[in-house]
């Protein structure tokens, strides 16, 4: 099995509506640091799309994303998702890891 090289990941989680706020998504960097955003839930998008957009907004805020860089929705976790950013030159072929 070939190794997958990834940078720090972004963790997202769903925040249900309250009496005063609509549903939201929190995106945070996986290691301690200042990286955190809260985004309003968009009912016109799928859950995966909402979480990916929140992760991308945080990645752009932190300066992690360059044109053409790949982001991978790595999977669901505790009401949210894990998003990983792949090093340049790395290629993930899902068939190799099944």
Of residues 42, 74, 39, 69, the one with CA closest to residue 57: 39
Handedness of CA 56, 54, 14, 35 (dihedral sign): positive
CA distance 27 to 12: 4
**Where do the domains of the chain lie?**
10-97
Q: What is the pLDDT along the chain (98 residues), one digit of tens a residue?
A: 555 444 578 899 999 999 999 999 999 988 777 789 999 999 999 988 898 889 888 888 888 776 656 666 666 777 788 887 665 555 545 454 43
Contacts of residue 79, Cβ cutoff 8 Å, sequence gap at least 6: 13, 14
């Amino acid at each position: 099995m070939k190794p997958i090289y990834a940078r720090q990941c972004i963790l997202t989680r769903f925040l249900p509506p309250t009496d005063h706020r609509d549903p939201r998504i929190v995106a945070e960097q996986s290691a301690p640091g200042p990286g955190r955003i809260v985004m309003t839930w968009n009912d016109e998008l799928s859950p995966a799309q909402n979480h990916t957009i929140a992760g991308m907004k945080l990645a752009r805020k932190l300066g992690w994303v360059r044109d053409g860089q790949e982001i991978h929705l790595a999977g669901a976790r505790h009401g949210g998702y894990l998003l990983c950013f792949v090093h340049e030159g790395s290629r993930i072929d899902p068939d190799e890891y099944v």
